[in-house]
A and B are shown apart, each in its own frame.
Chain A
């Protein structure tokens, strides 16, 4: 449904997006990750046809976004980053306008507004002016606008930004549900969101795609993935690390914590972890009071940190 090929955008001398390519099919929810300023919003703005790309091509359905923008835009629902709404309108007026400009007429407008209002829990503020709304409601109003015409493609720039935890959960569930029938791209810097809602994730840094895969695949690439975490009590730290180092197949041992007589250590295997290795570690731990022993599956945020240059750290 969405095909992005070699997309590049420069602002003067600054390269915001550099040769980004990916595709999203129906039934996929693509999480777009990256540090602030990595080029997420710029990419989304090009996908939705707001910004013309410097080079590259965006194809929506069968339509080229540059050559055939109106039919391409018809297929998309878009939630921009700051969730802008016309603040001089009521929620109902704004949503009716969005439905009308999407080509709906008469009864279809009423039905579409009703449906979107229900999905986004806006009943209470339906006749309130947008500029009197709290941030969460404003955000949901803009979200409702993006799904008003039941689009085949949804592009959402930080859809859960500024929402409270309940609303975040609600929106994530909604995205996941809609993702079964639509092609969805959403950007976020909350990594748990990716695991909760995405079928695939792309990590973008300094304008380039640095990782592309399912959340599980990406997690497996985290530096700690496959390591065995062991927590024992009543043993000296040196004794633990010493014995673990001697385990067959152990590459290195990391002492995580040594507190109140409880020692936590991480053993990294030489090759990718397997049952043999964890058994060997278990055997080594025999005789100690083991409180915890498990294979780490890796965390997305560890992987994220390992491959992106944060703007606070020098590369």
Chain B
């Protein structure tokens, strides 16, 4: 057990250092922070709302992550395949699961770091008013899980191709579907089209990250939503292991 954790952490350490060895990490963090700031304050109307909440901050996360998370995750497996290092990795005395987990956790930790660096927004709102910190924490947990779900999906697409651009585009499309399935403009159309079959709309929107992210923004950490994100991650990573195996046979 400790051996397997050791292997996961060795892989994760290498993966994290790979992010910071190139300018990618810094560029990503700067762009992420600039965009969250821009959307929160300029587009989201943070000040106009006149309330001590981070609604206008978290509101944009599903859309920001839509492009930024696949950009972080697209290289995870496709780069290994392109460089041929997957042949080294898979002949090391580790299990494929340890490699998959190590790589996933490293990228997730990197996204967590970027998310943590948005703390000035919290400081600002705390300075201006008296926000409910429980709600803020809920939003952060939701945002972190959301990033994890997108990332796991990107890991899967990146295991399917050695081309990073293709991995990026497919991930964006899949994540976009997960947003749109529960996005009010789309659900409204569905409701109008199928007025007698409410359950169809509910079924479709149950697959959406929006439906599950909403409660977190309100500070509610519901086990159903937790389960949703964790099962998206689990399913995607399991499919990654299947994809990696079929690639080699």
**B-contact 0/1 string along A120-137, CB 8 Å cutoff:** 000000000100000000
Given contacts A80-B84, A89-B17, contact A71 B93 (CB under 8 A): yes
Interface-lining segment among A43-51, A158-166, A224-232: A43-51
Q: How far is the CB of A212 from chain B (nearest CB, A)?
A: 25
A86 touching B18, Cβ below 8 Å: yes
Given contacts A97-B10, A100-B10, contact A86 B85 (CB under 8 A): yes
- Most A CB contacts (10 A, CB to CB) among B3, B85, B91 go to B91
Q: How far is the CA of A69 from the CA of B96 in the complex (A)?
A: 11
Q: How far is the CB of B26 from chain A (nearest CB, A)?
A: 14
Q: How far is the CA of A88 from the CA of B245 in the complex (A)?
A: 25
Q: Across the interface, name the chain B residue whose C-beta is closest to A41.
A: B87
Q: How far is the CB of A272 from chain B (nearest CB, A)?
A: 44
Asked if A40 is at the interface of the complex by the 8 Å CB criterion, the answer is no
Given contacts A84-B83, A85-B85, A86-B83, contact A97 B94 (CB under 8 A): no
A70 touching B21, Cβ below 8 Å: no
Q: Which of B53-104 contact A (CB under 8 A)?
A: 83-85, 87-88, 90-95
Asked if A74 is at the interface of the complex by the 8 Å CB criterion, the answer is yes
B88 touching A102, Cβ below 8 Å: no
Task: Name the prevailing secondary structure of the B interface residues.
Answer: helix
Q: How far is the CA of A88 from the CA of B93 in the complex (A)?
A: 22
B84 touching A145, Cβ below 8 Å: no
Interface bin, chain A: 20 to 34
Q: How far is the CB of B94 from chain A (nearest CB, A)?
A: 6
Contact residue among B10, B22, B88, B245 (Cβ-Cβ distance under 8 Å from A145) = B88
List chain B residues, Cβ under 8 A from A69. 95
Asked if A23 is at the interface of the complex by the 8 Å CB criterion, the answer is no
Given contacts A50-B248, A51-B249, A80-B84, contact A86 B14 (CB under 8 A): yes
Contact residue among A45, A50, A87, A93 (Cβ-Cβ distance under 8 Å from B17) = A93
List chain A residues, Cβ under 8 A from B92. 73, 101-102
Asked if A306 is at the interface of the complex by the 8 Å CB criterion, the answer is no
List chain A residues, Cβ under 8 A from B83. 84-87
Given contacts A52-B248, A80-B88, contact A101 B21 (CB under 8 A): no
Instruction: Please count how many residues in chain B sit with their CB below 8 Å of the partner chain's CB atoms.
Output: 24
B87 touching A101, Cβ below 8 Å: no
Asked if A304 is at the interface of the complex by the 8 Å CB criterion, the answer is no
List chain A residues, Cβ under 8 A from B18. 86, 88-89
**A-contact 0/1 string along B165-200, CB 8 Å cutoff:** 000000000000000000000000000000000000
Asked if B11 is at the interface of the complex by the 8 Å CB criterion, the answer is yes
Given contacts A86-B83, A101-B11, contact A70 B95 (CB under 8 A): yes
Q: How far is the CB of B110 from chain A (nearest CB, A)?
A: 14
List chain A residues, Cβ under 8 A from B88. 78, 80, 84, 98, 142, 145
A78 touching B91, Cβ below 8 Å: yes
Q: How far is the CB of B188 from chain A (nearest CB, A)?
A: 46
B91 touching A84, Cβ below 8 Å: no
Asked if A36 is at the interface of the complex by the 8 Å CB criterion, the answer is no
Q: Across the interface, name the chain B residue whose C-beta is closest to A146.
A: B88
Q: Across the interface, name the chain A residue whose C-beta is closest to B102.
A: A101
A49 touching B11, Cβ below 8 Å: no
Given contacts A93-B17, A101-B11, contact A49 B90 (CB under 8 A): yes
Q: How far is the CB of A40 from chain B (nearest CB, A)?
A: 14
Asked if B7 is at the interface of the complex by the 8 Å CB criterion, the answer is yes
Q: How far is the CA of A35 from the CA of B248 in the complex (A)?
A: 23
Q: How far is the CB of A111 from chain B (nearest CB, A)?
A: 18
Q: How far is the CB of B6 from chain A (nearest CB, A)?
A: 8
Q: How far is the CA of A70 from the CA of B95 in the complex (A)?
A: 7
A interface with B by C-beta (< 8 Å):
45, 48-52, 69-71, 73-74, 76, 78, 80, 82, 84-89, 93, 97-98, 100-103, 129, 142, 145
Can you give 21 A-B contacts (C-beta < 8 A)? Answer: A49-B91, A50-B87, A51-B248, A51-B249, A52-B248, A69-B95, A70-B95, A71-B93, A73-B91, A76-B91, A78-B87, A80-B88, A84-B83, A85-B85, A86-B18, A88-B18, A88-B22, A98-B88, A101-B11, A101-B92, A142-B88
> Which 9 residue pairs of A and B lie closest in terms of their CB atoms, listed nearest first?
A84-B84, A74-B93, A73-B93, A80-B87, A48-B91, A84-B85, A88-B21, A88-B18, A78-B91
